[in-house]
A = this chain, B = another copy of it.
Amino acid sequence: MPRTKGDHEARRRDVSEAVWRVLATHGFGGLTMRAVAAELGATTGLLTHYFPAKRDLVAYALDLLATRSAARPRRAAGAGIAAVRAALLDILPLTEEAVASNRIWVSSWDVALADPELSAAHGRRYGQSRDKLRDLMAAAQDRGELSAGSPADLAAGAQSFVLGLVVQALFNPDQFPPERQTELLDGYLAALGSQP
């Protein structure tokens, strides 16, 4: 029986799942052909069919991370400061799934900083994220729900706040349960003069 297109798609999904599980447990530092093969219950020989070299595996993993992040479910955004809050909550590790993807993002910083091209790609990604936040901040100001000030600075500050909160919550999950993360974010927004 010849392999069908469906077989191929199913196998690609299996490979993606295996790569994701390896990343969630071991990070990019533990992303090896051998680890993915073991997770997949396959031989490393089969994997070289998908990833001729280690760098192909890393590139695939980074794509997978970007794709899954873009496709993740988002909160209903509302408008004004509610949209700002929803966008920031969407980043925080408030669910098991969000813990896994954040753990993989944080892990990706090491591999990205070591490679000028990957570093620039991450830089563009964070820049786009700040641009979106900047527009949301400006809209909240227009509605009188946020005090004056440069929307770009408000966006850079808010993104700083949540990224650093992600890191601390990953290392001290007991001290940063979802409720406290949310309270800290709300305290931050309140300090910006937000009036929901």
Residues of A within 8 A of B (CB): 25-30, 103, 106-107, 109-114, 119, 122-123, 126-127, 130, 149, 153, 156-157, 159-168, 170-172, 175-176, 183-184, 187-188, 191-193
Contact = CB atoms under 8 A, between A and B. Distances in A.
Contacts of A149: 187
B114 A27 contact: yes
A172 B29 contact: no
A159 B167 CA distance: 10
Closest 5 CB pairs of A and B: A163-B164, A164-B164, A160-B164, A123-B171, A160-B165
Contact of A110 (B109, B175, B187, B193): B109
Contacts of A123: 171-172
B161 A157 contact: yes
Contacts of A171: 109, 112-113, 119, 122-123, 126
A153 B29 contact: no
27 contacts: A27-B113, A27-B114, A29-B111, A29-B114, A30-B114, A103-B113, A107-B113, A109-B167, A109-B171, A110-B111, A113-B170, A123-B171, A126-B167, A149-B187, A153-B187, A156-B165, A156-B176, A157-B184, A157-B188, A160-B160, A160-B162, A160-B165, A160-B167, A163-B163, A163-B167, A164-B165, A164-B167
Contact of A168 (B106, B156, B184, B192): B156
A61 to B, nearest CB: 12
Contacts of A163: 160, 163-164, 167-168
A146 to B, nearest CB: 11
Nearest to A174: B123
Nearest to A31: B29
A113 B188 CA distance: 27
